[in-house]
Amino acid sequence: MYSALQKKITGKTLSSYKVNYPADLSLTSAAQGNTDLVNHVKSQAAACPNQRFILVGYSQGANVVDNSIGISSAGAVVGSPIVATIPAALEPRVAAVLLFGNPIRAIGKSVTGTYQSRTIDFCAKGDPVCENGGGDVGAHLGYTANADAAATFAAGKV
């Protein structure tokens, strides 16, 4: 995903930061990833006044992105409550949100509100993480096929 994004965004410096999101579904795990993302965005925004952000959520981690920016995650069956949010003053600097296997889809929810027009949400056919009744446990491995489309979307928002 990162290399596809680099190819699409020209003339700008691009850096990445991986959120500390352990691979378990405990409430503490999601809360820690949530807090880590928000703290990183706040510190980078303070250090670099012109920086824009592209938030990427993959599979279970996608719920952390939803919760961290407070978009349509009420009632999610995985992840944790919103324990940290990106401040409203920084909202204009979130250029794009890229979600791969967003778990709130499985319960019939989607991104709405402030970030809706800046979000692209991929769900692989049969992926039980994001598709109600999905039974293909390996489907989430196919999201690399969406990297170019996601990068094109993000490049158009930056």
Q: Which residues are catalytic?
A: 59, 127, 140
66 closest CA partner among 20, 24, 121, 17: 121
Which two three-digit tokens encode residue 114?
């402030």
The CA distance from 92 to 97, in Å, is 12
The CA distance from 5 to 158, in Å, is 11
